[in-house]
Amino acid sequence: MRQVAIIGAGMTRFGKFIDRSLKDLGREAVEGALGQAGVEKSAIEAAVVGNASAGLITGQECVRGQVILREMGFGDIPIINTENACASSSTAFHLAWLYVASGMCDTALALGVEKLYHEEKRRSYAAIGAAVDVELVQQILAQMQAQAAAKTKEQAANTPGGSGAGQSRSMFMDIYAALARSHMQKYGTTKEQYAKVAVKNHYHGSLNPHAQYRERYTLQEILDSPPVAEPLTRLMCSPIGDGAAALVVTTAEKARQYTTKPILVRASLVGSGKDLAPDEPTAPTRVARRAYDIAGVGPEDVNVVELHDATAPAEVVIYEELGLCKLGEGGRLIEDGVTELGGKVPVNTSGGLLSKGHPIGATGAAQLCEVFWQLRGECGDRQVQGARVALTENGGGMVRGEPAAVSVHILSA
């Protein structure tokens, strides 16, 4: 397979854009990516578009990519619509990479785009709730309710069990909260350590003009924000958002015609969950290990990471899954400042899902934009000095107790 390079990236600011259409958001991201790459539309030979929720939010299904791209003047080329919940656009990027790596075409576009805000908030939560197997989740919820009933009344008082933000949101946050509590029980991780992840990511986000939320918070402010599901507070949870992100990939050879700073895609993988045997590694662990193998690097070589911090505790768990530290030492890693700007491996310099925002179908592509810009030294106040190797990890949905999709990419300057 051929070596592939990223030569341009573009994204909208993430935020609440009730009045902007998918077309409008997509156009800004695509024009940004083409502009940075210095590539004409006519040079794009394939386009892959990731979106998770337009069907349920706007009623536009089936041909979402064509609706956005045809109006911009793209046509004739393969336009592929792909969906993998929160990993929709890392999947889109993977397929754009595959088009080029395979030799099928030389230059391809990946776009992730999402509008999650809707005047009826119920619709937004229904869209998020579609990222699971509805039948199975109802079974899991029934089990969790049975477990909760078996606990002491005092514990129950500390676990409100929902954000009040709608059934689907609360269901996902209940799952995340259960994972967070399990990590605390097993490894002694503390709520303060989780809160530190949120302090860090909100601080990083304050340095990123593309971030939805740019406020900084103290540890106490994170802990004191409204409870969602113990130990999660609102500022430890990613918000709903709208936005788009795009990348242009081409062969490593051709990249040099466009730029002196191509960024090589050293590994591009999508995996899925499985029914785990006891002590079997989780989906992010398995996919990351394969990616390291293919890229010929280890976690110790990685200088900057974007990972799927749908909640602050998830980031701690994923540190371990990516091998940034040993199992159970994630809490210590954030405590020691290893993953903050200035630390050994800054994580989520963009602000991550917590602060940059999480328009789910745009998130994976936006992670790749961030590390692309980091490896090119284009991140201004949030630049990781001398970054040479980057990793992104993007998870999507939940089916039978594991993520439905996990995508890991490793890039190098």
222's tokens: 């994170």
Report the side by side order of strands in the sheet with 389-399: 46-50, 107-115, 242-251, 4-11, 263-271, 402-412, 389-399, 304-306
Straight-line distance from the first to the last Cα atom of the chain, in angstroms, rounded to the nearest whole number = 19
Q: Which of residues 241-270 bind a copy of itself (CB under 8 A)?
A: 269-270
14 binds a copy of itself (CB under 8 A): no
70 binds a copy of itself (CB under 8 A): yes
1 binds a copy of itself (CB under 8 A): yes
- Of 210, 358, 369, 409, which residue is the catalytic one? 358
Find residue 398's DSSP bridge partners.
Answer: 132, 403
For a copy of itself, the binding residue among 16, 31, 72, 80 (CB under 8 A) is: 80
Contacts of 146 (CB under 8 A, 6+ apart): none
C-beta of residue 321 within 8 angstroms of C-beta of residue 327:
no
Q: Is 369 among the residues known to form the active site? A: no
386 binds a copy of itself (CB under 8 A): no
Q: Which of residues 186-205 bind a copy of itself (CB under 8 A)?
A: none
d(C-alpha 338, C-alpha 285), whole Å: 20
Q: What angle do CA 406, 98, 318 make, to 5 degrees?
A: 20
For a copy of itself, the binding residue among 38, 42, 61, 138 (CB under 8 A) is: 61
Q: Is 358 among the residues known to form the active site? A: yes
Q: How far is the CB of 309 from a copy of itself (least distance, A)?
A: 19
For a copy of itself, the binding residue among 17, 29, 44, 82 (CB under 8 A) is: 82
d(C-alpha 360, C-alpha 358), whole Å: 5
For a copy of itself, the binding residue among 29, 44, 132, 244 (CB under 8 A) is: 132
C-beta of residue 270 within 8 angstroms of C-beta of residue 406:
yes
405 binds a copy of itself (CB under 8 A): yes
The catalytic residue positions are 86, 358
Which residues contact a copy of itself (rule: CB under 8 A)?
Answer: 1, 52-53, 55-56, 59-64, 66-67, 70-71, 73-85, 88, 91, 94-95, 98-99, 101-104, 126-127, 130-134, 269-275, 283, 286, 396-397, 399-400, 402, 404-405
